[in-house]
Structure 1
Amino acid sequence: MLHCPYCSTLTKENETYCMKCGRMLPEDRYHRLSSKPNFFTRWKSPILSTVILLFFVISLYITLEMRTAKAKDYYTKGEEKVLAQDFKTAQSLFQDALDMKDNFQQAEISLAFMNQALSMEQTLQKTEQLLKEKKYTQALEILNESEKGLQDYNGEAVNQMVERVTKQRNKINIEKLEHALKQKPEIDQLKVLLWDAVSIETEEAEQLTATIREQIVNYVFAKASEQLKNNQFSDGNLIVKDGLKYAPDSEKLLSLQTTIDKEKVAFETAQQSRIEQAMSTANKEQQMNESDAIKLKQMETTKDDQGNLVVKGQVQSVATIPINSIRVQYSITTNEGETLLTNEVYVYPEELYPEETGHFEFTHYDVNMNQALTAEVETIAWYTK
């Protein structure tokens, strides 16, 4: 086909001038056949395509940047809601962030944590209901199982959730202990409950620990004293040593342990002869030290938290030398004068210096407290060496 060699416009064979550019056409048809397009004509389409593509790329980039910025904004707001414990709103914001930006890894992790946190919220509510029903073991089981889902996460929000779980667990354990103590557990159960209480790091648990430990000490003291009264020194010592595992700093048990050891030595080395020898001395001061060295200051009967009879009192040394192994024998009588029982208890501390005051206390189990009872001292014995 013929065309203008200058503007590439199609021409007819009989035309002399180009209808578009107005220039004279070559007479030789060959030149009209071999005409080449100019630079603009040749690159017009590629340039236009490039411009359109560049515009598209820039538009896409700007759009992605805007969506990324919006996603980060949603994520930041979600983090604020997490710290405010508003997990439901935070979950929605993290989902919005993912909708704005695919493969937003932090938002994916946070959204997964929100799902776990909301599940934990439901678990905490469930444990409250189980507490009301006194289903302590079941409450602890579902709490521990749900807590495992937090192990794959870290951060301040996770720490807050773990702290809430720990507080709830402590609350359950404390209520479980309080309920168990109301059932008046045996000594072996008390020992187990003590370790449970020690494992809880709260002030309330410390008070429970002290209460349980006191019950163990009173029980051990009563049983060991009974063995001592029957001259079963080894058995009494074993009982005290076992009790010291649970109350190693108990002055009451440590003093009793020392008393048992000394009583054993005294028994094995002719205890009676030493007492008679001391009583036969003619020295007035020595006579007082041996026969009138202790003054009863106070004695009373009360009930402990479990309703057991507790006999306690104070004695004072009026001797001029230290005295030790002070043993108080007393009887419990009714208002009608009937003697229910007699008992011996050792004073602590084990050794009293002149003018010092000692204490004694004994818990009687299986005594009917539905009647008025009176405690009366029968004898007080002691050693001066």
Structure 2
Amino acid sequence: MITCPQCNYENAEGSRYCSQCGASLSEESPADTKRKRLWLPILTPAIVLVLVGAALYFVYDQQAGINKEVVTWKTEAEEAALAGEYREAEKLLTRAIQERPDEEALQEELSHVQTALSMEKELEEVSKLLEEGSLSEADEQLATIQATLKQENGRLYQTLVPALNEMDSRFTLQEVNEELSKITDVDELAAKLNTLSDLNLEEAAKVREKIYEKIVNRSTKTAEAAAEDKRYTEAIALIDEGLQYVSNDEKLIQLKERVQQEKQAFEQAAQERLESAMQQAAQDELRNETEALEVADIRMEKDEFGDYKISGELKSVATQVISTISVKYDIKTQDGEVVRSESAKVYPNYLTPGSTGSFEKMYYNLEEGEYMVEMTELEWLVE
């Protein structure tokens, strides 16, 4: 039998509750029960404290894990942004903000990354404009991006500089390439070479080759035109101008050698002509002084009245105009005896090269006889 500790009612063995009062039937002694009652007020707060502490530790541990993840995402986002992976940086920062929406630093970093993304998109639009050949629009867009970049500070925005420089180089390259068709002056072409000198694009080498070719063609064309006009010094100067920029061009080197040979031959021929002209001038001067006239005709005639007339024609073989021409002659008998020595003026007073003049003179008091005339001297002045 089991005695109820509450009402002392005897209950059957194995009963758990008193059939009289309903109290729990325990094998513990009243003393044990009393001890339990003494510990219970002490254990209950302790258990609650342990449970609350465990809960707080769990919450702390969970928040610490989130903080660690947020810091990791932030670090990875910074690394991605500085590597130019703005879209990945945006995803990481967005994830971090979802966990810590009140963190202003995260919001600020996300704003900078989104600005960089926007500028990257604008640079892509510039690239499309360049591909379409819309240089004016591309130039305006580049100027806007450059102005925005100047207003922003930080390493993040510096990552856009290489892409911006590349777009600017592509714009410059395309602009130069389009201008080439309008440029014919070698100095202007050389200026375009200077413009391209700072560009590291692969396409820049092709445009430089195009400029070199145009310099060679232009120098060749102008030099050959000058050489055809016998302006050999100018032609050589034009070739040398081209060789300043394409020093090893075989075409220009050969052209220079040919022009120099032509110049030498021309100068030699000119020298020979000069010497020949000087010789001819000396001969002409001697002829003008000593043999300026040829006697075309001289005769002596007797008219019906018994008077005698001496007349003649002279031709100028001088190379200059001669004037004041006079003829001296002797009147002789058939035996060669000089009867008279006379002179006469030739008209016109001036004879040009190749022209003729004449003279005549009447004699009324010569004795009857047969006479002949012999020219003894000619006098003239060279103008």
User: What is the TM-score normalised by the length of structure 2?
Assistant: 0.44
Decide which structure has the larger Cα Rg and report it: 2
Instruction: Provide the TM-score with structure 1 as the length reference.
Output: 0.44
